[in-house]
Structure 1
Amino acid sequence: MKERRGAPLKHNVIRSKMKKGYPLMTDPILSSHFPDTDWFQESSLRKMLRNHTAVYIKPDVGRKGNGVIRLKRLNRYEHEISHGETTIICPSKKLYSELTKMLNPKKNYLVQQGIDLATYRKRPFDVRVVLQKPLNTWRATLMSAKIAPNESSVVTNVAKGAKDLNVYKAINGIDQSVNRPEVLRDLLDVSHQIAQKLDSVFPLRILGLDMGIDKKGKVWFIEANTKPDNVGLENIDRKLYRKYRAAKKWMRKG
C-alpha cells in the first residue's frame, strides 16, 4: 500500500540487539562482517571461548555500554574479566558462576566474539555511521570515530569516556599498516548494505551504526541503533552535519 502524500513514513524503533542482528548474521554476504554471536548460556560461552581469545557479554537491550563485560582467555586455566573499571583473574572452572553474579537476572544477554580493534594513538576506536532515508535512498549523513579513553578500555562509548574525532583524521592516523582508502570505502559500502537489509525487514528512516575496523583493516558490524543520539557531533564535521540537518528536514516533510 502506498503512503499517502504528506503522511509520515513509518520508522520502527528496535531495541533488541539479537532481533536487529539476526537478519545480518544470516545474510550470505553481510554475515562475514558480523562477529560470532549467540545467546549467553554456559554452553555457548564455552564454545565461544574455544574459538576466540576475547569475547563480550552484552545485555540484549541496553544503551551507552552499560552492563558490558569483556573476557580474555589468558591460558587453559585462567580468564581475565573486565567490567567497568574493575578487572579480575578468574579460574576457568568458576568462570560461568562468577559471571552470573555480575548479570541482571531480569535481562537476557548475548555472548559475542571480540574484535581486535585498530588503534589511534594506541587507543582502540570504532566508527559511528548515521544513515538517513529522506527521499527513499539511504545516505550516510554523519560519521565520527569514537576513541577509547585508554588502551585497555572495555567499550568505546562516549558515555564511558570515549572522545569523538573526525573519522577521516582517525582513519588516516590508524597505528596499523592498512589500506586507508579501501577501509573508508568498505566502511561506507558495508554500512549502506546493512541499512538496506535492515530496512527490508523493519521499515526504517534513520540508523546509527557502530562499525569496527580491526588491526588488519577489515570492517565489522558492532551494533545498530534505530534511535541514535547525535548530540555533540555538529563540531566534528560541519559539512556532514549540514547534510544530516538537510536530510532531517526532508524527512519531517514526509
Structure 2
Amino acid sequence: MEHAIVRSKMKKGLPLMGDPFMKYYVPDTDWLTSPSFNRMLKSYTSVFVKPDIGRKGNGIIRVRNIGRKRVEISSQQGTIACPRDQAYSKIEPMLQPNKSYLVQQGINLATYKRRPFDVRVVLQKPSGIWRATLMCAKVAPRKSSVVTNVAKGAKDYNLYRLLRRTDQILKTSEVMRDLLDVSFQTAQILNAKFPLRIVGLDLAVDKRGKVWFLEANTKPDNVGLESIDRRLHRKYLKAKRIIRKASEE
C-alpha cells in the first residue's frame, strides 16, 4: 500500500486548478516572474509569494496594495512600503536563488478576535474510503501576521466552536459542509494522480464565508491536535493503525 510524498505546491495545485469543480476554490496561482507578479498585484488587494517547496510558513512574503500605487511588503524580516512599480525589485533579494517560487492571490481571511485564521483538515484512507479524521482552526498570533502556521506562533482551536465566534457572521453549518466537500474532492483528485493514504489540507474561509484551498501536505504534522477534539483524534489513531497494518501485510 504505497503513499507518495509530493513536495511541490504547484505539482499538487495543477490537478485542482484543472478540475471543473475545484478550480472555483483555488486562488489564482502562477509561477513567480516579474510579469505574473505585476499582473496579480494589479488584480488583487494582496498577493503572496511562496517557495514551491517549503514548510512551516518559511520564506513566505505578503505584498498588499495600500493605495496611491503603493504597496506594503511583509516577511519574517519585517515590513516595508514602496511604490508598486518597485515591488518586484524589492522582493527579489529576499528570494533564495536556488528555489522556485509561486505568486498567489491573497485571501481576505475571516478573523477571530481580529486575528486571521485558516483551517487544517486531515483525511486518511484506512479501508479504501477517505475519512476526515482531524479538523482544527489555526489562529494567527497577531492581526498583522503574514502566516497562520503553528510553527510561527499560531494556536490551534476547535473548529466548530471557533466558527460560531468569528468577528464576521458566518453560517457555520454551510461553512463546515463546504470545508468537508472541498476536502473530499481534493483528496480524490490528488489520489487519482498520486498514491495517497493521508493528506493534510490547509483551507481558508474568507470574510464572506467562502472556502478556499490553500495547500495540501502529503506528510502532515499533527502534533498537538489530540486535545482539540478527542473524539476525532481517536478516529485518527484508529485509521492510522489500520493503514499501518495494511502496509505491513
Question: What TM-score, normalized by structure 1, do the two folds share?
Answer: 0.95
Aligned to 1:110: 102
Letter of the 1:170 counterpart? L
Give 5+ residue unaligned stretches, structure 1: 1-8
User: Helix, strand or coil: the match of 2:107?
Assistant: coil
- Kindly state the Cα deviation for residue 237 of structure 1 after the two structures are TM-superposed: 0.7
2:53 is equivalent to residue 61 of structure 1: yes
Aligned to 1:174: 166
2:28 is equivalent to residue 36 of structure 1: yes
In 1, Cα distance between the equivalents of 2:208 and 2:90?
A: 33
Give 5+ residue unaligned stretches, structure 2: none
Verify the 8 A CA contact 2:199 2:217 in the aligned structure 1: yes
In 2, Cα distance between the equivalents of 1:59 and 1:100?
A: 13
Q: Judging changes above 3 Å, is the alpha-carbon distance between structure 1 residues 122 and 85 closer, same or farther for their aligned structure 2 residues?
A: farther
Letter of the 1:62 counterpart? G
RMSD: 0.8
Q: Deviations over 1:72-123 (max 9, x none)?
A: 0122431100002511001222211111011101100000000001111111
Aligned to 1:226: 218
Residue in structure 2 matching 1:48, options 35, 40, 49:
40
Aligned to 1:13: 5
Aligned to 1:25: 17
1:92-241 map, 5 Å: 92-241=84-233
Q: Judging changes above 3 Å, is the alpha-carbon distance between structure 1 residues 147 and 85 closer, same or farther for their aligned structure 2 residues?
A: farther
Q: How many residues of Structure 1 are paired with residues of Structure 2 in the alignment? A: 246
* 85-94 vs 152-161, greater mean Cα deviation: 85-94
In 2, Cα distance between the equivalents of 1:208 and 1:171?
A: 20
* 73-82 vs 204-213, greater mean Cα deviation: 73-82
Aligned to 1:5: none
Q: Deviations over 1:7-47 (max 9, x none)?
A: xx111000000000000011111000000000000000011
In 1, Cα distance between the equivalents of 2:67 and 2:168?
A: 26
In 2, Cα distance between the equivalents of 1:91 and 1:204?
A: 45
In 1, Cα distance between the equivalents of 2:68 and 2:33?
A: 20
Percent of aligned positions that are identical: 61
User: Helix, strand or coil: the match of 2:93?
Assistant: helix
In 2, Cα distance between the equivalents of 1:62 and 1:172?
A: 32
User: Helix, strand or coil: the match of 1:93?
Assistant: helix
In 2, Cα distance between the equivalents of 1:217 and 1:77?
A: 29
In 1, Cα distance between the equivalents of 2:221 and 2:146?
A: 21
Question: What TM-score, normalized by structure 2, do the two folds share?
Answer: 0.97
Verify the 8 A CA contact 2:160 2:172 in the aligned structure 1: no
